[in-house]
Structure 1
Amino acid sequence: MDILLKEILEINSVSSDESRMASFLLDLILKRRSSWKVSPQIYSGEEFHDNILLVFGNPKTAAFAHMDTVGFSVRYENQLVPIGGPEIGDGAWLQGTDLVGPIRCKAHEKDGNVFHDFPRGIQRGTMLSFEQQIKADNEFIEAAYLDNRLGMYAMIRLCETLTDGIIVFSTYEEHGGGSMPFLTRFIFENWGIRQALVADVTWITEGVHFNKGAVISMRDSFIPRKKFLDSILELAEASGVPYQLEVEAYGGSDGREIQMSPYPVDWCFIGVAEENPHTPQEKASLKDVEDLIKLYQYLMRNL
């Protein structure tokens, strides 16, 4: 497993608290950009909150990957309020820090609510995330937050060879969105971007399997414009990179907010399938991740 993937898996980045991840990414970009084929313009800072935009050459297409994860907010009487849609199953270890000190506790459900078992009260509003335990071999990786660390990792790898395009690391995707409207406006008004790809994670289902390649979603709860989707499928076929097609009635991504924006920007979700979504044991194929990177490299050159 690439050490870079391990590093980003170990950084907490619950929705609304992405600043540590943003700082890590900026430092990484500044260190590595001189070795990339094209050194991008970087847009970040307080006016962009914790979002990061990298602009390479003369862009026609933008690729998005969200930086945030699911988690919990501490309420009262040991209760936890979900951030996004975390799944604790029979219980899950959580971690975090408040002003008193570090926290490690277990979550459990009771009467439809979630509680922690930490022996002292945790300060209200403290954010807790799944304790990270990474398991990897030559074929699979299992960890918390593969959603969307795998999309982030693919986009960082894409930076190495990209000559023309925009890569956006976005925030808040897991909990209602919020950053995409101004990001879509910014790239449309400054570069006339009218097509976007969303690098995220989807599910293993009866029609989507491990080791069958990247997943091109023909629809989830939202539907990309067929003309744009057809052009992607034609290029994907020409690329020779393994891929599989997904058709679902539920779920969503940053593509939802692109479609709901007032700007004529086409979009398509292209990601990696995993088992056990939003749990501490998300599982994905490393081969599928590599196919995703290759497919993005081809599409960003040819769209």
Structure 2
Amino acid sequence: MIDSNLLKKIVTTYGPSSREEIIRNLIVNEIKEYVDEIKIDALGNLIAHKMGSGKKMMISSHMDQIGLMVIDIDEKGFIRFTNIGGINPNLILGYRVRFENGTIGVICSEKLEDNDKLKIEKLYIDIGTDGREDTMKAVKIGDICIFQNEFIETEKVIISPYLDDRIGCYILIETIKNITSNSYDLYFVFTVQEEVGIRGAKTAAFSIDPDIGLAIDVTSTFDTPKNEKLSVKLFNGAAIKAMDYSLIADKDIKNSLIELAEKTGIKYQIEVLEHGGTDAGAIHMSKSGVKTGAISVPCRYIHSQSEMVSKDDVKMCLELIKLYIK
């Protein structure tokens, strides 16, 4: 069973890259009774230590969201912005956005002769004010907004923005709460600024110096009409990573995950991704190198307002991680 109330709370909490304080505090309150030690490093990573006598394992999910930063407010009060993380301007036109102070706006576009030439610089945010001075009462240069959230649950799927990677954070929280015995010295890390260059995982891995690394994130599916001919599909189980742009997974970890899934009847698929990356990309190159793998939740429409994951796939990922740690 997925704890929908917890997942909704995690997904809808404000926390774009570099502004993760609110979501970090929420996670701390969820896990503090289940770990031996909690640290917050200088960059803002949340490191939860569950002590064990074996090798050090770092398990990572990023808690930051993509967003938009205000770069200018014109005389009429309309807000110009730049992107934080990968954003397609054609997808966000008409989206509602929310600033940290609760201010709501809508993304609109200048009149264009050719909509195919839509770029970020042609878009603006309208918060319904009368001029620059009125807008500045609510929004300042450098403020960051996120997409306004609507969490939808059906019998089979969850639909919401920011499942990337709040679904990974949910999986880590549930793993922390349900692990009663472990042969590893476990470091659960909720990282910052993944969406702008896998920054948090780099500093956390350097500090922890793990023997083994494991990243939990979403991955693109290729099961929608006229998509690329790659293998990952919704409803096909946990995706065990073989490769993405940032990592070729450690062979031993990948094979161990596959063997464990087959032995226990966990539904799985192999992920080969030609673009994108996860925290694993930074972890495996830390210091003298770390044996690193990754488990991914298949997700349709990544970095949109309607990311979609299968409940069963989430359960398979959660079960595989718990068994691997044991």
TM-score (norm 2): 0.82
Q: 2:9: which partner in 1?
A: 7
Q: Pick from 209, 214, 230: which aligns with 2:238?
A: 214
Q: 1:258: which partner in 2?
A: 283
State the one-letter code of the partner of 2:35.
P
Q: Quick one: distance in 1 between partners of 2:127 and 2:242?
A: 44
Asked if the contact 1:258–1:267 (Cα under 8 Å) also holds between the matched residues in 2, the reply is: yes
Change (3 A) 1:260 1:109: farther
| 1:20 CA displacement | 0.5
Q: Pick from 140, 151, 165: which aligns with 1:134?
A: 151
Q: 1:36: which partner in 2?
A: none
Asked if the contact 1:68–1:171 (Cα under 8 Å) also holds between the matched residues in 2, the reply is: yes
Secondary structure of 2:23's counterpart equals helix
> Any idea what the Cα deviations from partners look like across 1:232-283, whole Å, max 9, x if unmatched?
3222322321111111211101111113322321111202111111111111
State the one-letter code of the partner of 1:81.
T
Q: Quick one: distance in 1 between partners of 2:141 and 2:51?
A: 46
Q: Quick one: distance in 1 between partners of 2:67 and 2:25?
A: 20
Q: 2:70: which partner in 1?
A: 74
80-89 or 211-220, which deviates more: 80-89
Q: 2:257: which partner in 1?
A: 232
State the one-letter code of the partner of 1:119.
G
Secondary structure of 1:212's counterpart equals coil
Change (3 A) 1:258 1:274: same
Asked if the contact 2:58–2:205 (Cα under 8 Å) also holds between the matched residues in 1, the reply is: no
56-65 or 11-20, which deviates more: 56-65
Q: Pick from 177, 188, 199: which aligns with 1:160?
A: 177
| 1:103 CA displacement | 1.9
Are residues 1:54 and 2:48 paired? yes
Structure with larger Rg: 2
Q: Which runs of 4+ in 1 moved over 6 A?
A: none
Q: 2:226: which partner in 1?
A: none
Q: Quick one: distance in 2 between partners of 1:298 and 1:261?
A: 26
Are residues 1:96 and 2:99 paired? yes
Secondary structure of 2:325's counterpart equals helix
Q: Pick from 245, 260, 270: which aligns with 2:295?
A: 270
State the one-letter code of the partner of 2:268.
Y
Are residues 1:205 and 2:227 paired? no
Q: Quick one: distance in 1 between partners of 2:215 and 2:161?
A: 20
217-226 or 142-151, which deviates more: 217-226
> Any idea what the Cα deviations from partners look like across 1:116-161, whole Å, max 9, x if unmatched?
1223433101101000011111211101100011101111110122
| 1:48 CA displacement | 4.2
Q: Percent identity?
A: 25
Q: Pick from 200, 204, 226: which aligns with 1:179?
A: 200
Q: Quick one: distance in 2 between partners of 1:260 and 1:69?
A: 24
Secondary structure of 2:142's counterpart equals coil
Q: Quick one: distance in 2 between partners of 1:83 and 1:20?
A: 18
Q: Quick one: distance in 1 between partners of 2:26 and 2:312?
A: 26
Secondary structure of 1:260's counterpart equals coil
Secondary structure of 1:69's counterpart equals coil
> Any idea what the Cα deviations from partners look like across 1:61-91, whole Å, max 9, x if unmatched?
2211111010000111421110001345142
Asked if the contact 1:215–1:270 (Cα under 8 Å) also holds between the matched residues in 2, the reply is: yes
Asked if the contact 1:16–1:171 (Cα under 8 Å) also holds between the matched residues in 2, the reply is: yes
Change (3 A) 1:53 1:97: closer
145-154 or 219-228, which deviates more: 219-228
Secondary structure of 2:199's counterpart equals coil
Q: Quick one: distance in 1 between partners of 2:18 and 2:126?
A: 24
Q: Quick one: distance in 1 between partners of 2:160 and 2:66?
A: 13
Q: Quick one: distance in 2 between partners of 1:270 and 1:250?
A: 16
How large is the RMSD of aligned CA atoms in angstroms? 1.8
Q: Quick one: distance in 2 between partners of 1:62 and 1:178?
A: 15
State the one-letter code of the partner of 1:173.
E
Q: 2:227: which partner in 1?
A: none
State the one-letter code of the partner of 1:205.
F
How many correspondences in the alignment? 286
Are residues 1:23 and 2:25 paired? yes
